Amino acid sequence: MIKEVIVVEGRDDTVAVKRAVEADTIETGGSAINEATLRKIALAMERRGIIIFTDPDHAGERIRKIVANRVPGCKHAFLREADATKGDDIGVENASPEAIREALSRVRSEVVGASEEAQDQIDWEDLIGAGLIVHPEAAARRRFMAERLGIGYCNGKQFYKRLAIFRISREEFAAALAELEKENERGE
């Protein structure tokens, strides 16, 4: 049984999560998340903690931001887009129980109020040097790094913020970058 309450988008996501693990969920009802649902999430955070587990798409990211801004200190689980895609549909409901368990085993905690301190660890220049921004293959490189670090795919600016929010160390960053470079060498 997972101690925290898992925040998902809809009923089908709850069904998929419960096929994979024993857990309680709160459904946001999609991106039109209402005040009552946000209060319920805040109460769950206070009592048990929450894990935000939304679809790896634009709408899912929007919900993740709304909840995280309203309820500080959330934990986050990220599914790889490839694990959540069935045909043209992207969502938690499409993921296998194994992919859901893996995503939930790699939960990342937000560090409230520590983003300034953590930002000193990895800076914008590090991202440029790693080819994660301002590079022809930046999006693909960020996708690889985000999957390895378990922080979910996002644009360069959001990637930078997530490195700080989840306190990704220079060592974790360097190890993921080394894997990326090794993968690129194999592909050439």
pLDDT tens, position by position, 11-49: 999 999 999 999 999 999 988 899 999 999 999 999 999
pLDDT tens, position by position, 160-179: 999 999 999 999 999 999 99
Average of pLDDT values for 117-138?
86
The residue written with tokens 């990895």 in the block is: 122
| Residue 118: pLDDT over 80 | no
The DSSP bridge partners found for residue 27 are 8
Q: Residue 64 is which amino acid? A: R
The DSSP bridge partners found for residue 52 are 7, 76
Task: For residues 123 and 126, give the distance between their C-alpha atoms in angstroms, rounded to a whole number.
Answer: 5
Average of pLDDT values for 152-160?
94
Closest to 60 in 3D by CA, of 89, 35, 86, 40? 89
pLDDT at position 181, please?
Answer: 94
End-to-end Cα, the chain, rounded Å: 44
| Residue 115: pLDDT over 50 | no
Average of pLDDT values for 120-147?
93
| Residue 111: pLDDT over 90 | no
| Residue 114: pLDDT over 90 | no
Task: For residues 113 and 128, give the distance between their C-alpha atoms in angstroms, rounded to a whole number.
Answer: 25
Question: Do 7 and 67 meet the contact criterion of CB atoms below 8 Å apart?
Answer: yes
pLDDT at position 117, please?
Answer: 52
In the chain, what's the furthest Cα-to-Cα distance?
53
Residue 26, SS3? strand
pLDDT tens, position by position, 57-101: 999 999 999 999 999 999 999 999 999 999 999 999 999 999 999
